Structures are given as C-alpha cells and as structure tokens.
Chains A and B, each alone.
Chain A
C-alpha cells in the first residue's frame, strides 16, 4: 500500500480518535455536544457512476470551539467518455478523501463577535492527489444581525497517469514506468468575501464574491482531441489547456419564511466569468415545506447556462491545429445548459419517542433525488443521497 495512503488514513484515524476523546469529555462534563452523520451518495450518467459513502463527526465544546472531521470514499466507474479516451473501456477507481476543521468564536468589545476557523483537506486516487488548507473568519455585529465573512483556501493537486489498458509495463503506484511517468501539478488560491444580513423576522440575504487563481496543468492527461470528427479517423492530438485560469464568482441568496403555511423559500443566483472566456449564470429555487411535526419536503430547481471557452471548437481540422496547440475535447468547455429538478424528504425521529427506538428520537433521516437534463456530451444525470444524522 502506498505510503501516502497510509498517511492519509492515519491522519483521518487520528483526527477521529481525537474526536472520540473529546466525546468522552462530553460524558464527563455533560456540556459537550455533537452530531454523527452517515451518508450514502450516488451519481449516475451515461458514462460515469459514482458511489460515495461518507462519515462526518461534529463536536462543540463548552467554550464554543467546534471540531469536525469527514471521511469519504468515492467508487468511480467510468467509461471512455469521462476518462477522455476514445476507446470504450470501463474501469473503476477508488478515491479516499479526508478533512478536518476547527473554529472558535471570540467575544469582542461592544458586543461584536469574531469567529476564526481553519481546516485541511486531502484526497487520493491512483492517479490524482489533492491536498489543501483553508482559513475562515466571520465578524458579527453587536445586534447579531449582520455578519461579514472572509475566507481563503490553498489547494495543491498532483496529476498523474495510470495506464489502464494494453501493456502496463510497471505497476508503479503513480502509473507507468519511470521513463514514461506523467507528472504534472497545479496550485489554486481562492479568496471569498461575503455578507449575511437579517432583514426582517422572516427574511435574510447572503451575497458574496469569490476569486480563484489556478496555475499549472489544467487539462486531462488521458483525453485526446479528435481531428476532423469524433470518430478520430483523421487522428488525435493532445488536449492542451492554458496554464493559468482566473475565476470570478458573484453569488447571492434570499431566504423567506411564510409562517401561515410553514414554508421556506430560497432564491439563489450565481454569476461566473473566467479568463478562459467561460461565462455562466446559475439561478436556483428551493422550497421547504413542513409536513406535520416530523417531516420536511424540499423541492429544488436549478438552471445552469454557460458559454464556451475561447479555445473550444466543435471540430478541429488537421490543417488548422498542431499537437501542442490549445485544444480541448472536454464537454464542460463547450457552450451548454442544464436543468436540475429534485426533491428531498427529511424525517425527524420524534415519533419514535417511547418506542424501542427511543434512542433515535433526536435523529433525522433524509432521502434526496435529483435529475439533470444536460445538453452537452456528458448527457443526463441523476444525483441521489440518503443520510442519517444522530446528535449526541
């Protein structure tokens, strides 16, 4: 087993054990609180299936310090289209992801509060490693009506190539022989600033801006770009994307509670542009409807619409492009749009009080399913998940 996999698992295990120790403190003092969340996630589309179980533990100390750890495993089964190859080979990859987070609220003079937090993230699959850290802060006004937020995150990704078909000469953990090994990296730095404000007893607003700077290898190491048409009868060239990408995102959300019907309505909007000339808008509406004392139904609609990257072409003609020129066969570089519609049903365990399952009376269970109508080559998709949250 690769040393990095050991390191990741030990890091996650250590953090979980630390959380367990903190949980013991709860038993001693009676003042610690927390929650355990188990979730099964699923994604399906024509060329890709993802099954991703996850475990998340959150703890809050008497002094307000909050700790959290998460562990997630992705089992990603892809056909050629998602992997970018032109042959129809199906394969499964396992991705491990672990993260930890901590935050603490400080009381400032004048009744203001400053929350400081940070976290780390690590992800590993046979041909891709990713790690990062983030720092977040939130300043809340004395009346607790307005919160200003700022966060920054750094990400480092290592992109490798694992030969999945034909003669795999060496089972090198990062793929290929030393001579053939593909080794590229990229780094990303993100800054986010936002404001949250309570407007009325039933209405609040959130708005923010995010800037990301990516530098390094930003293409897919497997994907080849067909010349002529997609049958690649005229050959293929290497996919090459620009080495720098600057991304700008504006986002906002209004949430309103309708007391007579016990309905919460969220209207969200996101506008995006980047240095690759991709421009996108994402309006979204969510409606939460209370159904009796123990159930909430959520309905969701999301629209996504983007323009193409400046180097994207439906067809690259052999006479117009050479190997090494900017070229892409990535569907998400094309002009396309999608519609997403879905629902989620959440059940609280209050109705279990006094039964043999009384221990789960504070737990909640949810199921959600969304369908995506997509106009690019990825095709339509399904996102689903089921979760169990047990507070303690």
Chain B
C-alpha cells in the first residue's frame, strides 16, 4: 500500500506541466512554506523519537534522552 502511494506520488511529481515562477504566489502563502517551522519541528521530533520505536522523515537523528 505504502509503496503504491509513493509510486503514485512520484508519477504525479514527474508528470505535470511546467509552473512558471509568476504562478507560484500561492506556494509561498502562510502554511505552504514550512521552512520557518524548523525549530518547533525539531523539538517535537525529538519528543516523538524518545517515545516511539520509529524515527526518520523529519531530519532528526536522535541523541540524548535515551532516544536510542
């Protein structure tokens, strides 16, 4: 199931038409660009890493707090 979803996503990613730079205004609207949430996301990811068996996908690599 997961692999199928990712394949669909990849097909979408490689198959769509060109979006000109002047058409990308909405992509920089609040909520679309998550670059500014890095610090908040980092702490939250650290909590999840310390409390869950899985990790990854959010840039955290563990360390400290018994996160291994």
A-side interface residues toward B, CB under 8 Å? Answer: 37, 39, 41, 43, 50, 52, 54, 56, 70, 72, 74, 76, 82, 84, 95, 97, 121, 123, 125, 128, 130-132, 134, 143-146, 153, 155, 157, 159, 186, 188, 190, 192, 195, 197-202, 204-205, 207-208, 210, 212, 214, 217-220, 247, 249-252, 254-255, 257, 259, 262-264, 266, 269-272, 274, 276, 278, 280-282, 286, 288-290, 296, 298, 304, 306, 309, 331-333, 338, 346, 366, 368, 370, 374, 378, 381, 383, 385, 387, 389
A-B pairs with lowest CB-CB distance, top 10: A288-B31, A264-B31, A249-B56, A251-B57, A130-B63, A197-B13, A272-B54, A280-B54, A271-B2, A278-B53
Q: For the complex, what is the distance from the CA of A309 to the CA of B54, rounded to whole Å?
A: 11
B14 touches A155 (CB 8 A): no
Q: Which of A39, A56, A200 interacts with B16 by CB under 8 Å?
A: A200
Cα–Cα distance between A199 and B8 once the two chains are bound (Å):
13
> Which residues from chain A contact B5 at a C-beta distance below 8 Å?
252, 269
Minimum distance in angstroms from A148 CB to a CB of chain B: 11
Whether A264 and B29, one on each chain, are in contact in the complex, defined by CB atoms closer than 8 angstroms, is yes
Q: Which residues of B contact A220 (CB under 8 A)?
A: 66
Residues of chain A within 8 A (CB-CB) of B51 are 331-332, 374, 378, 381
- Which residues of chain B (19-68) have a CB below 8 Å from chain A? 19, 21, 23-27, 29-32, 34, 36, 38-40, 43-44, 47-48, 51-59, 61-66, 68
Inter-chain contact B24/A198, CB cutoff 8 Å: yes
By the criterion CB–CB under 8 Å, are A39 and B53 in contact? no
Q: Given A37-B39, A270-B57: A74 and B68 within 8 A (CB)?
A: no
Q: Which residues of B contact A (CB under 8 A)?
A: 2-3, 5-6, 9-10, 12-14, 16, 18-19, 21, 23-27, 29-32, 34, 36, 38-40, 43-44, 47-48, 51-59, 61-66, 68
Nearest CB in chain B: distance from A149 CB, A: 11
B8 CB to nearest A CB, Å: 10
A255 touches B32 (CB 8 A): yes
Contacts of A378 in B (CB 8 A): 51
Tell me which of B2, B30, B55, B56 has the highest count of chain A C-beta atoms within 10 A of its own C-beta. B56
**Identity of the chain B residue whose Cβ is nearest the Cβ of A96 in the assembled complex:** B64
B6-A121 in contact (CB<8A): no
A65→B34 CA distance, assembly (Å): 20
Q: Is A296 in contact with B52, judged by CB distance below 8 angstroms?
A: no
Asked whether, in the complex, the Cβ of B54 is within 8 Å of the Cβ of A205, the reply is: no
A207 and B53 form a contact (CB under 8 A) = no
* A41 with B2, Cβ < 8 A, contacts A74-B65, A278-B53, A306-B54 known: no
Residues of A within 8 A of B34 (CB): 266
8 Å CB contact of B39 from A39, A271, A370, A381:
A39
C-alpha spacing A289/B31, complex, angstroms = 8
Contact of A70 among B39, B48, B55 (CB under 8 A): B39
Once A54-B43, A278-B54, A309-B53 are accepted as A-B contacts, the answer to whether A128 and B64 lie under 8 Å apart by CB is: yes
Cα A289 to Cα B29 in complex, Å, equals 11
A121 touches B63 (CB 8 A): yes
From B43, B52, B61, A385 is in contact (CB under 8 Å) with B43
Q: Are B65 and A95 in contact (CB under 8 A)?
A: yes
Residues of B near A56 (CB, < 8 A) are: 38-39
A298 (CB) vs chain B CBs: closest residue: B31
State how many angstroms separate the Cβ of B34 from the closest Cβ of chain A. Answer: 8
> 23 A-B Cβ contacts within 8 A?
A82-B66, A125-B64, A155-B63, A157-B62, A157-B64, A159-B68, A197-B12, A198-B27, A212-B56, A212-B61, A247-B55, A249-B54, A249-B56, A252-B5, A264-B32, A266-B34, A274-B54, A278-B54, A286-B31, A290-B29, A333-B53, A338-B52, A346-B30
> 16 more A-B contacts (CB under 8 A) besides A195-B10, A201-B23, A290-B30?
A50-B47, A56-B39, A72-B43, A125-B64, A128-B66, A130-B62, A186-B68, A197-B14, A210-B57, A247-B54, A249-B57, A270-B56, A272-B54, A289-B31, A346-B30, A370-B44
Q: Which B residues touch A272, using CB under 8 A?
A: 54-57
| A286 to B66 alpha-carbon distance, docked (Å) | 29
